[in-house]
Structure 1
Amino acid sequence: MTFLIRTLFITKEVPYPPIGGVSLRTWQNINIMMKFGPIGVFSVSNWSPQNTSLPGVALWKHTNVASQRSNWEKLENRLWWLQSRRHPDANWAYAKTAAEELDAILTKFQPNLVIFEEVWLYPYLNVVKRHQCQIIFDNHNVEASVWQQRHNSIPDFKSQLQAKIQLNHLFSIESDFASQASQVWVCSEDDSSLIKQYYKQVAPTQVIPNGINVAHYNSVYSRECLPATGLENTRHNILFLGQLSYSPNTVAAELLIYQIYPRLRKLYPDSRLLLVGRNPTSSMQVAAQRESGIIVTGSIPDVRPYLAAASVMVVPLLQGGGTRLKILEAFAAGCPVVSTTKGVEGIKARDGEHLLIRNEVEELVEGVNQLWLDSSLGNKLANSAYELVQAEYSWEAVNRKIELAVHQLIPELALSE
């Protein structure tokens, strides 16, 4: 007899349609767990979505926590620094009324398994622990490490002090979450080693890679997908994807705007820089107004026309964690990639075989120039990268890893052949 697993996902933001790395990973996990039984989703954010259902999801409850916070809660949030396991980013996703709604959902849905997507949902852990279920903490990044990378060069003392206090609280939250969960999921072997290095007590850890639905990008790979309007001349279009307000992406995008793209524009006057993703900063928008070759899209419903328009994706990341879904999307779409070592961290891709790895500005520029001068090199990298993403990072490949991880928690689950 097949054992059905009832899984409840707790998510920050709405997981569908996936519009960034967090929601892409969450939607991957939801789709894979659908194969084992009914799925429930409890999502929280500071806004209310227009859609009222999620494809294939049996139960969905969304809560706009901003509209539910009492004045007392707002005061408590401002005094977060007085309690070691409170943090502004975790407070953003929490309201006491939302916790009560979650408790009611748990009673109604009675899940065997609850999966928390990201550390910022930690305030709901005690609610879930009152119910009989296994708990997975899906840690998209080792957030304390990312926080250190982002705040290690703050100039003024006041900001340094605030960042230090927030880091100490984040250490406490991430450590407690990792020890209290039944299982911890991380994106790569690098993150698996890192979380064990940071914290003495960690629940059994499983590497569940970021993956993508490779078939979703087939129309781009086969060149059937039309480029976005106005970008039909695709020879010298540079693409960067991501939530542009996320600090590591902001730093990378500014490096492209102010250092990499101007050098390439001198070599290729028809070149364009496509910054595709939600929440662009004001400086990005100003740059786009000043320079016609810089295109900032804001939020878009479908990234594929922009992948179709790109002749290269450049990922000049200097900080961050997890693994970069933007690179996997490029691999699935047949778009050649030039990246820093940090950008490709956690992905089993090799320099010169699947992409070009370059770390200095001039090296990144030369890498793009090399691809634009030698189309056969771009085709070779793209074909090898496509084989890699199919073998290691497709939903089919990730499915087996999730199945084995869940079987350790719920042995009754019948493993597929």
Structure 2
Amino acid sequence: MVTGAAPGRQSQQAMRVLFLTPEPPHPAYSGGTIKAASILDYLRRRHEVHVLCFRRRPLTDEQSRWSTVVGQVETVPLNRGRNPLNLLRSYIWGLPLSIERNRSGLMTELVLERLRSGEYDVVFVDGWLMAQYLPRDFAGLAVLHQHNAEHVMWRRQAEREANRLLRMLTRLEYRRVRRYEAAILPRFRTVFAVSEADRQALVELGARPERLRLLPNLPPPALLERPALSFGSAEAVILYFGTLSWQPNIEGVEHFLRFVFPLVRRRAPEARFVIAGRGAPARLQRLARRTAGVDVLGSVEDAEPLFRRARVFVEASRSGGGTRLKVLNALARGLPVVASPEGAGGLEVVPGQHLLVADDPPSMAEAVARLLHDEAMWRLLSENGRALIRRRYLAEAAYRPLDEVVSGVGARA
């Protein structure tokens, strides 16, 4: 069977792909689901794809409609939280807590049943949580997409944890994650990392370099189709928009609130900090309420009004891994970014040309205040950021390694 090739592209054989992902990638509300949705859409335009995923709660009407459109989606119920019982089970089984929380006999049986049919050429595993479901005797092409070098995130978290007991527990979890991640990598013929830094971290973990490829995070291309933002029409608003249930994001926003934003207000008393995103914990909301000039919006369906209102986007995270999709989104929309070194990590950016990077509160406050007032610098970063996305972060170019691996035929323009 041959897929219809787009004009100017070489046809390629359609493969039958079993796509394993932790949750329905629709609606795409987080960096992980956005990336999964992007890969899934790309694969579906070229191959036959069957999706298996968990459902943590009943599917919404929107998700049910999405499943109908995709055509081949099966979900398995799973709801195992972070609690002492699951932590104890993880120690009994010798697994990282996240892996234990995503263990399911029903999913194991479903994957085995589908693969026994012999219908699939490729098993595409979206993230380390689903690697446990790849049968050891699968003879086809097994591909792993690592959203992050997981052990690096845990190591950074342990290094920054101030509480002695939590630091000890985090170090223990880091060692378990490192062992598990090292053990699963050899089971895949190809492993995709999202950045060169992550690729190198996986090599140092023991992965064979020839099996590692890059598959970067990408912003929605529709952001590039929107008209340029205007410095004059924007307000003195600093924007953060991201998933606030993820610990590195929580810590980054708290750090900015405590140590950076007060310094910004000394330089720009009119400045406001707008925090948008689902899942903000109570402690973050309390801190925001106690801080003058801060608005917490919660979940936002359409970020466009926020992009138009703001003059600066901030990413102050000090841990985590991979690359920050939220930063790519801001660059694609033309909203200048101030980021910590970790927040800009893994991206093909030049500080001072595509965004500003600051590694301590005074320098970050200075960079933010500059973009609130310096229209020339603002325009430079806005234009260069969008140009970078057009050049390096569109699927037709960035996902060519995916074509080469899955079909064995490089997609050539």
* Shorter-chain TM band: 0.7 to 0.9
Is 1:95 equivalent to 2:104 in the alignment? yes
- SS of 1:296 mapped into structure 2: strand
Matches of 1:276 and 1:76 in 2, distance apart? 31
Matches of 2:256 and 2:161 in 1, distance apart? 22
Shift of residue 353 of structure 1? 0.9
Shift of residue 291 of structure 1? 4.2
Q: Look up the match of 1:276.
A: 276
Q: Look up the match of 2:343.
A: 343
- SS of 1:313 mapped into structure 2: strand
Is 1:222 equivalent to 2:228 in the alignment? yes
Shift of residue 200 of structure 1? 5.4
Is 1:396 equivalent to 2:396 in the alignment? yes
Contact kept? 1:46, 1:93, Cα under 8 Å? no
Structure 1 segments of 4+ aligned residues over 6 angstroms from their partners: 74-77
Contact kept? 2:194, 2:323, Cα under 8 Å? yes
Matches of 1:16 and 1:210 in 2, distance apart? 17
Q: Look up the match of 1:181.
A: 188
The total of aligned residue pairs comes to: 397
Assess, with a 3 A threshold, how the Cα gap between structure 1 residues 270 and 118 changes in structure 2: closer, same or farther. same
Q: Look up the match of 2:5.
A: none
Matches of 2:357 and 2:161 in 1, distance apart? 28
Shift of residue 111 of structure 1? 2.5
Matches of 2:410 and 2:341 in 1, distance apart? 40
Shift of residue 142 of structure 1? 0.7
Q: Look up the match of 1:228.
A: none
Shift of residue 270 of structure 1? 3.0
Is 1:134 equivalent to 2:138 in the alignment? no
Counting only pairs closer than 5 Å after superposition, residues 9-24 of structure 1 correspond to structure 2 as 9-24=19-34
Shift of residue 109 of structure 1? 8.6
Matches of 2:367 and 2:375 in 1, distance apart? 12
Contact kept? 1:38, 1:58, Cα under 8 Å? no
Shift of residue 157 of structure 1? 5.5
Q: Give identity over the alignment, percent.
A: 21
Greater mean alpha carbon deviation, residues 396-405 or residues 150-159: 150-159
Aligned match for 2:213, one of 186, 206, 213: 206
Shift of residue 175 of structure 1? 1.0
Q: Look up the match of 2:6.
A: none
Q: What is the CA deviation profile of residues 160-204 of structure 1, one whole-angstrom value per residue up to 9, with x for unaligned ones?
A: 443333222212221121111111000111111111112255770
Matches of 1:76 and 1:367 in 2, distance apart? 44
Aligned match for 1:35, one of 40, 45, 50: 45
Shift of residue 307 of structure 1? 2.1
Q: Look up the match of 1:52.
A: 64
Q: Look up the match of 2:155.
A: 148
Q: What is the CA deviation profile of residues 17-55 of structure 1, one whole-angstrom value per residue up to 9, with x for unaligned ones?
A: 211111111111111112221222111143233021437
Greater mean alpha carbon deviation, residues 111-120 or residues 201-210: 201-210
Unaligned runs of 5+ in 1: 225-231
Shift of residue 370 of structure 1? 1.2
Matches of 1:104 and 1:54 in 2, distance apart? 24
Q: What is the CA deviation profile of residues 118-153 of structure 1, one whole-angstrom value per residue up to 9, with x for unaligned ones?
A: 112232123xx4444311111111101110111224
Q: Which amino acid aligns with 1:168?
A: R
- The alignment's TM-score, normalised by the length of structure 2, stands at 0.88
Matches of 1:105 and 1:305 in 2, distance apart? 44
Matches of 1:150 and 1:52 in 2, distance apart? 37
Matches of 2:211 and 2:198 in 1, distance apart? 13
Q: Which amino acid aligns with 1:384?
A: N
- The alignment's TM-score, normalised by the length of structure 1, stands at 0.87
